[in-house]
Chains A and B, each alone.
Chain A
């Protein structure tokens, strides 16, 4: 532990407890840690209560955790954008209806337009469908942004109007019908068919890449700090972060790989490929599902945008103090418009996942999603006063919300009780966050 000397000594250090020293040295966000702690408590709670009620806890099985990862994806993706919108002191209430509108347009385009003209299962159908979704999302988002930034209408009003308008528009497109089925490749985006599970080898490879990336990140961070003569984290702290990061990514791989293909799916696969089914049964691993990979990818990209680009810094600057940002020469209008456009595109991605997963599109998809997205963002520590919020926090918030929902479904909770609990958790989480902030300042 001699390497603590790496950090610049300060008079404060003498009075620090070991715990405080640990957090300062590793530079871990204690709020993040608190959220992870809460998540673990929720998970263990459901497992224990399940075991106690039914004698067989299923919450912490690979299968349920895998389900949870897929069920969280769509909300998590939208929450990454909502963080930045809220950081800029705006709000987007239209995401749910927009998802529904984009979903039905994409569904109609595939089922009623592309499939009949190109022939069903043509390999470009899904690409065109996704492009349509993204373009539509960008256009609708940009329109929201234009009204907010250039027409000066409060975002609450613009997107409240959008909530109603897109809801009507979705209805107008299909008159309440359900469009099905989706293109077979498009369906993969949702993660339902077996081809959407990347399997054991690819998952391990991804885990290894993630682990490597963490190590490279730590090293390059050290190099950068050395270059600018910033104080370094002590070696033990770096080691700790590297080991925990790697353990988490490889642990996640282990979990998703422990969930074997359902017997019926494996059987069908064996029949198609003329494989003899051994007496002990076939054992294929699920690995990560495509929507989860998309969500992780979006999380990484959005974190990069938020923390490493000029755009991201402007977003936080505007949120911190819009007048100051404006006076400092930031084109706040343009940034606002771009941010809403980005939000629209994230909604489009979620729309593809939701419609693909259900293998159908209907105008009830996405209804009330705005509430879950905003709740996830707020649980994740984003301040509605603006200026503060992290992407990973929001994604974790989405996971917390979904964990509560699925856990209670597993335990056969009455759905009225579910609503009461989910709502209470939202308010409780924000209260804890307020206490934390007040103590810190």
Chain B
């Protein structure tokens, strides 16, 4: 696992694409002309547009039709979106569920109509569907590992995501899994642990300020569950002159966060390149539309760590940690320009910034 994490991004991308290209190239001649749809929970967030673009590109390149629906942050709208998509006789629907339970009746309706469903990034527990995502428990593990490397002992603060999002809990279970031995040995103390309403950076900033106040600044490391909240954490540390001295984690590969990694105020941003996820999902969708069995897709494994423990076929992609050491690789993928990544960095201090 460790080797897998430290390998170059290029290799990861290459391996993944070639595996999936294989399935794509094995398509029969009547492949074109299928209809593949995506039902998004909202386009208000950070990343979904990037995913949308990546999926569209792959599907249209294969000669299939792509339909996209935005549920605008409403479970009810999403249900009617899916209804409409079924009525349009699409072959496969990728779903980013707004509510993983409320979506189930829609999934059943789709199954009954013979439409294949893919749970994209957000799990809904249906044994007939494919679940494709980055390994979220793995993201938590990676965060904890990087912070632990920087600070093997001391007082840890945990800034968790929104309490209503299952990912916040998945992440935390990965985090605690890694830190548990050190915690049991008394080397690491959990001094603050809070959920952050709406994953909002300004809420994370307030929570971190309260944590520092309570601890009288005796905080040695902060595990923040994403980059937006890490920006709030770093601002709170900065007010105490502690930024850059306390390791801080994050995820998403936010441009601002990559810059913080270069500046040294954030230790790691776990990057789940949504373009890679979108591409992988689109290719799986094309294969399924062409009649391939879900269980026979490359990279499929069983997954049953959801709330209800339903066993599903899943594809879990490995995320990559961005640290000072591999910053150059991220710049090479074109995700961020060197100017943005390295803004304000003293020349010669960070490899990859020059």
Contacts and interface: CB of A to CB of B under 8 A. Distances in A.
Contact of B241 (A58, A181, A264, A368): A264
A81 B234 CA distance: 31
Contacts of A412: 192-194
Contacts of B232: 358
B266 to A, nearest CB: 11
B242 A264 contact: yes
Given A58-B214, A406-B206, A264 B256 contact: no
Interface string B216-249: 0100000000011001101100111110010000
Contact of A364 (B200, B207, B239, B245): B200
Contact of B239 (A58, A192, A415, A416): A192
Interface stretch (A7-15, A138-146, A169-177): A169-177
Given A179-B256, A364-B228, A409 B239 contact: no
Contact of B214 (A266, A267, A410): A410
B247 to A, nearest CB: 15
Contacts of A364: 198-201, 228
Interface in B28-73: 43-47, 49
B210 A359 contact: no
Nearest to B162: A415
B202 interface: yes
Nearest to A171: B44
Contacts of A320: none
A193 B213 CA distance: 17
A267 to B, nearest CB: 7
Query: In this complex, which of B47, B195, B202 has the most chain A Cβ atoms within 10 angstroms of its Cβ?
Result: B202
Contacts of B241: 194, 262-268
B3 to A, nearest CB: 31
B235 A406 contact: no
B230 to A, nearest CB: 10
A405 interface: yes
Contacts of A61: 213
Nearest to B198: A367
Interface string A342-373: 00000000000010011110111101100000
Interface residues of A, number: 48
B202 A180 contact: no
A167 B44 contact: yes
A26 interface: no
Contact of A359 (B196, B209, B231): B231
Given A367-B200, A415-B197, A409 B207 contact: yes
Given A192-B235, A193-B238, A358-B231, A178 B254 contact: yes
B228 A178 contact: yes
B119 to A, nearest CB: 22
Nearest to B245: A264
B259 interface: yes
Nearest to A267: B241
Interface string B330-354: 0000000000000110000000000
B255 interface: yes
A67 interface: yes
Interface string A177-203: 111110000000000111000000000
Contacts of B163: 415-416
Given A171-B44, A415-B195, A354 B202 contact: yes
B231 A180 contact: yes
A2 B211 CA distance: 54
Contacts of B344: 120, 181
A358 B202 contact: yes
Contacts of B251: none
B257 interface: yes
A63 interface: yes
A360 B214 contact: no
B205 interface: yes
Query: In this complex, which of A54, A266, A267, A359 has the most chain B Cβ atoms within 10 angstroms of its Cβ?
Result: A359
B44 A363 contact: yes
Contacts of B199: 364
Contacts of A263: 217, 241
B49 A175 contact: yes
B353 to A, nearest CB: 16
A360 B255 CA distance: 11
Interface in B161-190: 163
A178 B201 contact: yes
B218 to A, nearest CB: 12
A264 B238 CA distance: 10
Interface string A400-441: 000001100110101110010000000000000000000000
21 contacts: A71-B209, A171-B43, A176-B46, A178-B227, A178-B256, A180-B259, A181-B343, A181-B344, A262-B240, A264-B242, A267-B241, A358-B231, A358-B232, A359-B238, A360-B256, A365-B201, A367-B198, A367-B200, A405-B206, A412-B192, A415-B194
Complex A-B, nearest 4 residue pairs according to Cβ-Cβ distance, in ascending order = A264-B241, A265-B241, A180-B256, A176-B46
Interface of A: 54, 58, 61, 63-64, 67, 71, 120, 167-168, 171, 175-181, 192-194, 262-268, 354, 357-360, 362-365, 367-368, 405-406, 409-410, 412, 414-416, 419
Given A176-B47, A180-B259, A412-B193, 15 more contacts: A54-B214, A120-B343, A176-B45, A178-B256, A194-B241, A264-B217, A265-B240, A268-B241, A359-B234, A359-B238, A362-B228, A365-B200, A410-B213, A415-B194, A415-B195
